[in-house]
Structure 1
Amino acid sequence: MRTFILERLPAQPITRENFQPYGQVIAASTDGKLFDSEDAQLVLDRGTPRFYIMRLHSKGRKFHNITRHVQCTQCLGSLEGKEWLLAVAPPSPGSQPDLDKIAAFQIPGDCFIKLNLGTWHAGPYFDADFVDFYNLELSDTNLNDHETCNLLEAYGVEFGIATL
C-alpha cells in the first residue's frame, strides 16, 4: 500500500493583490462605471458561454484532485453572502501544477473570483451543508476543457485546508 502525506494548507483572506497570480477578485462598483482593469477580464470566445447556479454539498476540506481549464476563464461566487474556500495554483506548462505554489483562500460572500486561463483549482469548500454558487464558463467546459491532476498519484500528497 502506498503511503501519502496530508499537508495542512492555511487559507488566507483573499485580496486583489494576493490572488493576482491566479485571477481576479471582483467586488461591487458603482452603477455607470466604465469598463476597466478592475472588471473581470473574460475569455469566453471559444464556445457558448454558460451562466448558471450550481448547488454544491459539503465535501469537507481535504482534496487530492486539482483541475484546470485552458479554453476559458471561469467566474465563481456564492449566493446569500456565504464565505467559502478555494485552493489554487498558477497556470503551468506541463500536466501538473507546481506543488510549492498551491495556495488556499477564504472568499467572502460579497465578491466573486475570476480564474485566469489554466489556473489550477480545487473547491469550492465550505462548512455549511450546501451552498449555491453562480458559475460562468463555457457550455462544454466540463466535457472538453477539464484537465485534472491527481496529487496523490503525482506527488503522494493530499491537502487539508485550514482557516486562520
Structure 2
Amino acid sequence: MKESVSTKQLFAQWITSENFRSYGQVISASVDGKSFDAQDARLNLQNGIPRFYIMRLHEKGRKFRKITRHVECTQCLGSLDGKDWLMAVAPPGDSDKPSLEDIVAFRIPGNCFIKLDVGTWHVGPYFDAEFVDFYNLELSDTNVVDHFSFDFVKSHNLEFEII
C-alpha cells in the first residue's frame, strides 16, 4: 500500500524588494527617461537567444510537488491586466536540491514583475482567476536545456500548498 503524501502549507507574504532580495528583484514602474540604476532588472541572457512571450495559464490550484531552476539565465515574469498572483521560491545554491526550510511563498501584485536570479528555485505562477496571461523573458531553449526540477514526493513524500 502506498503511503499518503503529506501537505505542508506555505503562507504567501506580500512581496517587497527587501524580502525578495535572496531570490531576485522586484521591478516596478519608474519615470520615463530615468537613468539605469539598481532598481532596474539585472539580466543574464548572454547564454542564448532571449525569448519574450506571453503565456496563458489556466487555474491549477495552489499545490505543488516539484520545483525548478534555470542555471543559464535569469527569468522575468509578470501578469498582464493587473492581476495578483503567487509564486514559491528557494534561494539558488550549489546543491541539486533546495532546502525544505528555505522554501517561501510570495503574493505578487499585478503592477510589477519579478526577475529571478540565475539558479533560483521556483514554482508557479499560481492565481485564483480562471486564467491569467503572463509575460515571460528567458532564453529560447530554457525549457529544453536549462530546466532542472526536484520532486518532493519522490524525495520526502511531500507536497506544498500556498495559502
TM-score, with length taken from structure 1: 0.97
User: Following superposition of structure 1 onto structure 2, how do residues 104-123 of structure 1 map, counting pairs within 5 Å?
Assistant: 104-123=105-124
CA distance in 2, matches of 1:116, 1:137: 11
Return the letter of the residue paired with 1:56. L
Residue of structure 2 in register with 1:143 after alignment: 144
Offset of residue 52 of structure 1: 0.3
CA distance in 2, matches of 1:69, 1:59: 22
Q: In the alignment, is residue 88 of structure 1 matched against residue 89 of structure 2? A: yes
User: Following superposition of structure 1 onto structure 2, how do residues 12-161 of structure 1 map, counting pairs within 5 Å?
Assistant: 12-161=13-162
CA distance in 1, matches of 2:35, 2:3: 55
CA distance in 2, matches of 1:49, 1:4: 38
Tell me the C-alpha RMSD between the 2 structures. 0.7
SS of 2:11's equivalent in the other structure is: strand
CA distance in 2, matches of 1:140, 1:52: 13
SS of 2:71's equivalent in the other structure is: coil
CA distance in 2, matches of 1:40, 1:70: 17
CA contact (8 A) 1:64 1:151 kept: yes
CA distance in 2, matches of 1:150, 1:76: 23
CA distance in 2, matches of 1:92, 1:151: 17
Return the letter of the residue paired with 1:141. T
Return the letter of the residue paired with 1:82. K
CA distance in 1, matches of 2:152, 2:74: 23
Following TM superposition, the consecutive aligned residue runs of length 4 or more in structure 1 with deviations greater than 4 angstroms are none
Offset of residue 92 of structure 1: 2.2
SS of 1:17's equivalent in the other structure is: helix
SS of 1:152's equivalent in the other structure is: helix
Unmatched segments (≥5 aa) in structure 1? none
Offset of residue 93 of structure 1: 1.2
Offset of residue 140 of structure 1: 0.2
Offset of residue 27 of structure 1: 0.2
Offset of residue 139 of structure 1: 0.2
Identical-residue share of aligned pairs (%): 63
Offset of residue 86 of structure 1: 0.1
Count of matched residue positions in the alignment of Structure 1 and Structure 2: 162
